[in-house]
């Protein structure tokens, strides 16, 4: 089992809908979770970080953690075509500090007009 | 402007010819990392550094070396490149005090023949 898993997609949603992306992790002790957006041919960009003590909302983005089921979700409200990108999830292994990150392979999101 | 720079951006080399990819950040971040990105595998961490003269292995360190003699620079060294090191490489720096922030360089596309 991979340490961090994401459905590769593509996840296709209509403009204005909510896009829901999931990421499962294997180490129950993981405490920090990162979401990145990567446009084709570009570098990853950190868009959300949450710690294990709660969810987080930032504009149209919400990150939610389900510790019991060991997954973290990224919700994008009012999806726009400009949100079309690959979304990468990353997890800190326990006791490693923020700098050690395990990434999922990413989910490709396509928002169609 | 907050920036992580990498050089070169593109490199074609031959097996066994030592090469160095430079990485520099202007944000005084303590944490820096190197990743490689391969299709279907996502980002995999090669090495990371928590401060000057403090480095540690990531998930795929074999065949790579790093050094951190100055806070701003974190070069990646391939002593004897092999074709399986053909990949897209990203350097990143991270701020962990206050609000978490991470910045990636533009990437270096390496082809080893």
Mutation pick from B102, B108, B109 vs chain A, by most beta carbons of A within 10 Å, is: B102
Are A8 and B59 an interchain contact pair (Cβ–Cβ within 8 Å)? no
Are B105 and A45 an interchain contact pair (Cβ–Cβ within 8 Å)? no
Please state the length of chain A. 113
Taking only the tens of pLDDT, chain A with its 113 residues reads 568 999 988 999 999 999 999 999 999 888 899 999 999 999 999 999 998 878 899 999 999 999 999 999 999 999 999 999 999 999 998 877 777 899 999 999 999 99
Are B96 and A98 an interchain contact pair (Cβ–Cβ within 8 Å)? yes
3-state DSSP of B42-94: EEEEEEEEEECCEEEECCCCCCCEECCCCCCECCEEECCCCHHHCEEEEEEEE
Predicted local confidence at residue B75, as pLDDT: 98
Tell me the pLDDT tens digit for each residue of B46-103. Answer: 999 999 999 999 999 999 999 999 999 999 999 999 999 999 999 999 998 888 899 9
Are B43 and A90 an interchain contact pair (Cβ–Cβ within 8 Å)? yes
Predicted local confidence at residue A1, as pLDDT: 59
Q: Rounded CA gap, A89 and A56, in Å?
A: 15
Residues of B in contact with A108 (CB under 8 A): none
Chain B contact for A103 (CB, 8 A cutoff) = yes
Q: Rounded CA gap, B42 and B35, in Å?
A: 10
Chain B interface with A: residues with Cβ < 8 Å: 31, 33, 35, 40-45, 48-50, 56, 58-59, 90, 94, 96, 100-107
Are B42 and A45 an interchain contact pair (Cβ–Cβ within 8 Å)? no
Residues of A in contact with B31 (CB under 8 A): 98-99
**DSSP helix/strand/coil, B16:** coil
pLDDT of B3 > 80? The answer is: yes
Q: Rounded CA gap, B46 and A76, in Å?
A: 31
pLDDT of B113 > 90? The answer is: yes
């Amino acid at each position: 089992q991979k340490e961090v898993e994401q459905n590769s997609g593509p996840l296709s949603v209509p403009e204005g809908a909510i896009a829901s992306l999931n990421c499962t992790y294997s180490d129950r002790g993981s405490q920090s979770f990162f979401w990145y957006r990567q446009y084709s041919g570009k570098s990853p960009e950190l868009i959300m970080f949450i710690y294990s003590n709660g969810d987080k909302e930032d504009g149209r983005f919400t990150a939610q953690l389900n510790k019991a089921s060991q997954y973290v979700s990224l919700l994008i409200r009012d999806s726009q075509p400009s949100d079309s990108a690959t979304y990468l999830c990353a997890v800190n292994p326990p006791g490693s500090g923020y700098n050690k990150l395990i990434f999922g392979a990413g989910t490709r999101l396509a928002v169609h007009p | 402007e907050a920036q992580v720079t990498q050089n070169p951006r593109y490199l074609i080399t031959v097996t066994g010819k030592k090469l160095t990819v430079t990485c520099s950040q202007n944000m005084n971040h303590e944490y820096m990392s190197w990743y490689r990105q391969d299709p279907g595998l996502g980002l995999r961490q090669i090495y990371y550094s928590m401060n000057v003269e403090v480095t540690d292995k990531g998930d795929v360190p074999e065949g790579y070396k790093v050094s951190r003699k100055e806070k701003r620079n974190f070069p990646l060294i391939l002593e004897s490149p092999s074709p399986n090191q053909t990949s897209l490489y990203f350097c990143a720096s991270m701020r962990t005090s206050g609000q978490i922030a991470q910045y990636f360089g533009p990437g270096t596309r390496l082809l080893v023949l």
